[in-house]
A and B are shown apart, each in its own frame.
Chain A
Amino acid sequence: MYKRLLRRLLGWTLALDVWVNRVYPADFNPLYYTGGLSNLFLTILVLSGIFLFFYYVPSFNDAYTSVQFITAEVPYGQIIRGIHRYAADGFIIAILLHFFRNWFTERFRFSRDEPWISGMMLLVFAGFIGVTGYVLVWDQRSALLVAMTGNSLASIPLVGGWLRSALFGGTGLTNLLLPRMLYLHIGPAVFLYILLWWHYVRIRHPKVWPPAVWTLFALGIVMLLAGVLPVTSQPPASALSTPGRLAVDWFFLLPYVGLKYLPPLGLILVGAVIVAYGLYIPYQLPETETELGIRDSGVAQVIDANCTGCELCYYDCPYDAIVMVPSPHPGVTKAAQARKLLAVVLESRCVECGICIGACPFEALELPRYLERDIHEKVLSACRSET
């Protein structure tokens, strides 16, 4: 049933691609650059965040005033604040599009489970960073968020109280709260780049940046929104009272709406199950017999005598599993005698997919348990079964 659903979702995703490709040239299709768009929004967030950081004061007395100072007094402060706010929404939208697109097109097969896992962690961290950002403003919404998060964490048996103290620096509102939130806003943002490195490390040609059309569009829309819908704070937080209503940002604070319908522990459990399922997605569908056959073909082997050092396999391998080294001796065939480089397969990275075999015009690579004669036999048996 899940497989059938996935097939249908794949069909819809590809149909959407076709439709967008009618409006935009294929190499401008934004759906092909959801990862790059996420990177663009992250860069906007970091740059605008550095600007805001210089003016922000993380203390109960001064946090709200410093944000108001940025908004009202600093030249273009309100625009930069708006850019930071709307780029954060864009970041989450782009990540979610990237997530669903790669899910529906099954881009988590073979060794692509690593980009998937790191991507899931990027999504979770991005959400967490967004929530800490809302607390930093220290308006009434911030106070309510701290209260709701604290109560939810405290409901976890055994470790709940400790978690709340670790996050907020104590059981009540302590002076450690805002410095800790500032650290938790910036520290994980740095960690995002480590996760991004992990996200890209096994991909040969990642599209890390969108085309100029979409870079300009994303920057433009963020600046336009910052000017037309300026970001404002709610009234300052008061130590004496906690507001009863939460002004919801649907991209970051949606989980908190769940507290209206679920007890805190139930909400945490639902969140944990969603994240755990997200991490499990690459392993949910067992590989088909064909895939298993390919997977069992053995690590690709370089036939030293034939390798010309042309680097085609090196560029084509999507898993970064082939490196070129200085050739210690000439090859045997005529084309290989003048070579300067030799291809070497990194066993730990090879997924036995056979792409390098197709890339090599000199028959210098083979999968030891999936040779040309094996393919011939498969083709013949397939033909026989058809007749």
Chain B
Amino acid sequence: MGDRAAAYGAGIVLLALLSLLCVIGIVWGELTGHRLVTGALVGVVLLAYSFVLLFLRKGGFTGV
């Protein structure tokens, strides 16, 4: 695995961890009635997933 792929791989792992934190936040927001926080964190998860897809491609894990 090249340096480039390793760097993007590390980015993907970080984004996955961020998403996990956000999911915990979403559950907390739902349980405590902080629905604006919940909505914003769902947005962050979607943004993180979009960057995961980008990094997968740029790291050479998927695509052309």
Contact of A220 among B36, B37, B45, B58 (CB under 8 A): B45
Interface SS of A by simple majority: helix
**Given A75-B35, A223-B40, A227-B36: A212 touches B53 (CB 8 Å cut-off):** yes
A283 at the interface (CB under 8 A from B): no
- The contact string, 1 if C-beta is below 8 Å from chain B, for chain A 72-94, is 00011011001000000000000
CB-based nearest B residue for A76? B35
Nearest CB on A from B7, distance (A): 15
Nearest CB on B from A182, distance (A): 25
Tell me whether B39 and A79 are in contact (CB under 8 A): yes
Q: How far is the CA of A63 from the CA of B43 in the complex (A)?
A: 29
CB-based nearest A residue for B35? A76
Tell me whether A226 and B54 are in contact (CB under 8 A): no
Tell me whether B50 and A213 are in contact (CB under 8 A): yes
- The contact string, 1 if C-beta is below 8 Å from chain A, for chain B 26-53, is 0000000001111111111111111001
Tell me whether B50 and A220 are in contact (CB under 8 A): yes
Tell me whether A227 and B37 are in contact (CB under 8 A): yes
CB-based nearest B residue for A225? B43
Tell me whether B47 and A78 are in contact (CB under 8 A): no
Q: How far is the CA of A216 from the CA of B45 in the complex (A)?
A: 9
A228 at the interface (CB under 8 A from B): yes
In chain A, positions 63-113 with a C-beta closer than 8 Å to chain B are 75-76, 78-79, 82
Which of A24-32, A144-152, A173-181, A352-360 sits within the interface? A24-32
Q: Which residues from chain B contact A78 at a C-beta distance below 8 Å?
A: 35-36, 39
Q: Which residues from chain B contact A274 at a C-beta distance below 8 Å?
A: none
**Given A79-B39, A223-B42, A227-B37: A28 touches B47 (CB 8 Å cut-off):** no
Tell me whether B43 and A216 are in contact (CB under 8 A): no
Q: How far is the CA of A25 from the CA of B36 in the complex (A)?
A: 34
Q: How far is the CA of A325 from the CA of B47 in the complex (A)?
A: 47
B4 at the interface (CB under 8 A from A): no
B1 at the interface (CB under 8 A from A): no
Q: How far is the CA of A223 from the CA of B35 in the complex (A)?
A: 12
Contact of A227 among B43, B50, B54, B58 (CB under 8 A): B43
Contact of B43 among A25, A27, A223, A230 (CB under 8 A): A223
Contact of B36 among A27, A79, A214, A215 (CB under 8 A): A79
CB-based nearest B residue for A214? B50
Nearest CB on A from B58, distance (A): 7
Tell me whether B35 and A28 are in contact (CB under 8 A): no
A341 at the interface (CB under 8 A from B): no
**Given A79-B39, A227-B40: A28 touches B57 (CB 8 Å cut-off):** yes
A257 at the interface (CB under 8 A from B): no
A222 at the interface (CB under 8 A from B): yes
Tell me whether B54 and A220 are in contact (CB under 8 A): no
Q: How far is the CA of A220 from the CA of B47 in the complex (A)?
A: 5
Tell me whether A220 and B44 are in contact (CB under 8 A): yes
Tell me whether A220 and B46 are in contact (CB under 8 A): yes
B2 at the interface (CB under 8 A from A): no
Q: Which residues from chain B contact A75 at a C-beta distance below 8 Å?
A: 35
Tell me whether B50 and A217 are in contact (CB under 8 A): yes
Q: Which residues from chain B contact A82 at a C-beta distance below 8 Å?
A: 39
Q: Which residues from chain A contact B38 at a C-beta distance below 8 Å?
A: 76, 79, 227
9 interchain pairs (CB within 8 A)? A76-B39, A78-B36, A79-B36, A79-B38, A213-B54, A216-B47, A219-B43, A220-B47, A226-B43
